[in-house]
Amino acid sequence: MPSKSRTVVLIACSSRKLDRPARAGHLYQGTLFRASLDWARRQAADAICILSAKYGLVALDQVIKPYDLTLNDLPVVEIRAWSERVLDQLASRFDLERDRFVFLAGERYRRFLVPRLTHAAAPLARLKIGEQVSWLQRKVGGRHAPRPKDETAGSCQAIHDWANAVPRHELPMSPEKVPRNGLYIVFERGERAHGGDRIVRIGTHTGNGNLPGRLREHFIAENKDRSIFRKNIGRALLGRDGNHRLLEQWNLDLTSRAARERFGDDVDRKALREVEARVSDYIRERFSFAVIEEPNRARRLQLEKELIGTVAQCPECGPSESWPGRHSPVERIRESGLWLTQHLGARPMASGATQKLRSGEATTRSDETRPRPTSARTTQSARKRKYGALHDFLQTASDVVDLSFVELERILGAPLPASARDYRPWWANHEGANKSPQSRAWQSAGYRVDGVKLGERGSVRFVRIGGPEASGEKARPPTAKNHGQISTHGGRARSFEWSLDHDTLRIESESGMSHAYDLAEILGIIRLLQTHFRSNWFPLANNVEKLHHGTERYGLGGAIHQQRPGDTLHAQGASYLGVVLERADIFEWNGKARAIQWRIRHMPDDAEDLRVALESAAR
């Protein structure tokens, strides 16, 4: 042990990160994190470490991968387990009785650590987030003083100079006055950066010709479940009011009928309509935007990521003290100063690339320029021709057809609309005369949609009507053993069958939904849960929409999703997989129909040990 006590500064991680592996001191990009690190480096501390929600205690030069986990989403029992892990890591490097530990971290990070340390301090404990940043910046003599004005700041300056100079749309807007394809850049009154109005949101669309519709959802239509932009503004306004009861209702996604049936009686619809009206008023009073016309889908998606990454990581951009987003319950919004959460850690735009914006290679549109009008009849005819290619393809296909969205777009010869990637109802098997063009295409070919996975890496399964898959007579591989019918837990228990086919666990639900998990994958899932929760309880946590948007807390669903990122349908099978592993005496269930949790009872040594446990469960 050293003869002299040491000072150790412990900094909480941030949700805003680069989108690639990096040294921890550079990976985290949150405003508070950067200010904390600047302050810590000026204290002549003996050591500076990061408190990571995933990795525990992390050194600044340790290379780690980005992740999506925060202690704010974890129950107390899991935070306690995380704290025990961090204490073990601290004890291996420092003297817990003699050394002094300075916490630049929130209460959840400190809660179970401080009582176990003899000398601990938390200079920011009584300050709000914005006050913490201001305090740290004052102490170091300016905003991010130790970081030189780098290329990112220069690129962000150029982006702001360009965006502030192009024609601007005011609200209320006329959707027909914007191009059909492109990006939009949003400004907010009262927010300033780089000598002009500060950019507070950058966005685009995936479907061909859908930019006017996307802007209508954000700025005109009062439906927060169709616009995460509107939902985030409402969250901040309710957070500023301290109205947590209504905030919980506002966070609910009531798009699906199942959600409306489940939560409908608990929702104050009148109050939610009033919040929608408040959001509309705020948008009309505070926002304006510019538009970049870009017909090529791949180029506009890439440009969106580069623009967001540049603005989010600029050391000279930040929200004002009065910006409502500071009251958002979403940490990424509070830290970034942007009304968005995706692509914050994307690689920033190189300084040379900003010349393309200034040179006019990306076209801008304002209210003074109008796209050539297209008649409704022409549009409807084009849509029929577009989905006719799908009809032709299916007529010569097998009984079951699995297509990724990318493969489907190749068949169509055109991009899918944004709603196909974001909204499950787009894939409905409509009945009657008013079928959607896409539904008419696959149904007239003799198929129905049997399952869909949303998102950029989405996919869809078509099943021939009356075929073996549709009638529930799917033939099993001859080596598969049917291990009987069991049910999931919960108020809406669902029956299912499971079988072990060589190295694959196969699950068939009563509705015909199928899931398959190979033994190596299951072993990886269990090991992830053991690393994260040890012997503590973990939740089911397999809400498809939350997994898609990255807002679901970590649990069995998240561990499955981590094995196959983007495949939310695969992760939804957690409710079945958990019961099977429970039957195999690997998991222990908490016995509750709501707030379902398991914990690891037995950790298989390898895939063969897992196979033996599953085969024993079948006897």
Residue 314 neighbours by CB distance under 10 Å: 26
- How far apart (Å, rounded) are the C-alpha atoms in residues 335 and 130? 9
Which of 56-60, 76-80, 396-400 shows the lowest mean pLDDT across its residues? 396-400
| Sheet order of strands, 514-518 included | 481-487, 495-501, 504-509, 514-518
Residue 182 scores a pLDDT above 50: yes
- How far apart (Å, rounded) are the C-alpha atoms in residues 398 and 328? 49
Q: State the pLDDT at residue 423.
A: 72
Q: State the pLDDT at residue 88.
A: 92
In the chain, % of residues over pLDDT 70? 84
Higher pLDDT residue, 561 or 235?
235
Burial class (CB in 10 A: 0-12, 13-18, 19+), 551: middle
- By three-state DSSP, how is residue 287 classified? strand
The beta strand positions in 415-549, using DSSP E, are 447-453, 459-464, 481-487, 495-501, 504-509, 514-518, 538-539
Q: State the pLDDT at residue 466.
A: 62
Structure tokens at 462: 């078509």
Q: State the pLDDT at residue 597.
A: 93
- How far apart (Å, rounded) are the C-alpha atoms in residues 598 and 590? 6
Which of 3-17, 446-460, 467-481 shows the lowest mean pLDDT across its residues? 467-481
Q: What is the mean pLDDT of residues 556-560?
A: 90
Residue 210 scores a pLDDT above 50: yes
125-155 burial, b if ≥16 CB within 10 A, otherwise e?
eeeebbebbeebbeebeebbeeeeeeebbbb
Contact at 8 Å (CB) between 100 and 65? no
Q: What is the mean pLDDT of residues 90-107?
A: 91
Q: What is the mean pLDDT of residues 236-264?
A: 82
- How far apart (Å, rounded) are the C-alpha atoms in residues 102 and 89? 16
Identify the band that residue 323 occupies on the pLDDT scale cut at 50, 70 and 90: very high
Instruction: For 198-219, give the secondary structure using H, E and C.
Output: EEEEEECCCCCCCHHHHHHHHH
397-427 residue pLDDT tens: 667 788 888 878 878 877 888 778 877 778 8
In the chain, % of residues over pLDDT 90? 21
Structure tokens at 52: 């990571």
Helix (H) or strand (E) holding 587: strand 587-589
Which of 61-65, 109-113, 340-344 shows the lowest mean pLDDT across its residues? 340-344
Instruction: For 156-190, give the secondary structure using H, E and C.
Output: HHHHHHHHHHCCCEECCCCHHHCCCCEEEEEEEEE
Identify the band that residue 175 occupies on the pLDDT scale cut at 50, 70 and 90: low
Contact at 8 Å (CB) between 446 and 470? no
Residue 251 scores a pLDDT above 70: yes
Contact at 8 Å (CB) between 2 and 40? no
Contact at 8 Å (CB) between 510 and 495? yes
Contact at 8 Å (CB) between 236 and 324? yes
Which of 3-17, 83-97, 498-512 shows the lowest mean pLDDT across its residues? 498-512
Q: State the pLDDT at residue 134.
A: 76
Q: State the pLDDT at residue 308.
A: 92
Phi, psi of 463 (to 5 degrees): -125, 135
7-51 residue pLDDT tens: 999 999 988 888 888 899 999 988 889 889 989 988 878 899 999
Q: Which range, 110-119, 251-260, 445-454, has the best average confidence (pLDDT)?
A: 110-119
- When the pLDDT of each residue in the chain is averaged and rounded to a whole number, the result is 80
> Which DSSP letter does residue 553 get?
P
Higher pLDDT residue, 278 or 391?
278
Which of 14-28, 141-155, 288-302, 572-586 shows the lowest mean pLDDT across its residues? 141-155
Chain Cα centroid distance, residue 375: 37
Q: What is the mean pLDDT of residues 283-307?
A: 89
Residue 475 scores a pLDDT above 90: no
Q: What is the mean pLDDT of residues 375-390?
A: 55
Higher pLDDT residue, 588 or 380?
588
Tell me the longest C-alpha to C-alpha distance in the chain: 85
Q: What is the mean pLDDT of residues 90-118?
A: 90
Q: State the pLDDT at residue 413.
A: 77
First-residue to last-residue Cα distance in the chain? 56
Q: State the pLDDT at residue 548.
A: 67
- By three-state DSSP, how is residue 378 classified? helix
487-502 residue pLDDT tens: 888 766 778 888 887 7
Q: What is the mean pLDDT of residues 522-539?
A: 88
Residue 313 scores a pLDDT above 50: yes
Q: State the pLDDT at residue 145.
A: 39
Identify the band that residue 379 occupies on the pLDDT scale cut at 50, 70 and 90: very low
Higher pLDDT residue, 587 or 513?
587
- How far apart (Å, rounded) are the C-alpha atoms in residues 45 and 204? 45
- By three-state DSSP, how is residue 402 classified? strand
Residue 276 scores a pLDDT above 90: yes
Which distant-in-sequence residues (6+ apart) come within 8 Å of 211 by Cβ? 178, 179, 180, 181, 182, 184, 204, 205, 291
- How far apart (Å, rounded) are the C-alpha atoms in residues 120 and 112? 12
- How far apart (Å, rounded) are the C-alpha atoms in residues 300 and 185? 12
Q: State the pLDDT at residue 440.
A: 85
Higher pLDDT residue, 570 or 88?
88
Q: State the pLDDT at residue 368.
A: 35
Identify the band that residue 375 occupies on the pLDDT scale cut at 50, 70 and 90: very low
Higher pLDDT residue, 1 or 136?
136
Q: State the pLDDT at residue 610.
A: 87
User: How many helical (H) and strand (E) elements, i.e. helices and strands, does the chain have?
Assistant: 24, 22
Q: What is the mean pLDDT of residues 68-97?
A: 87
Identify the band that residue 202 occupies on the pLDDT scale cut at 50, 70 and 90: very high
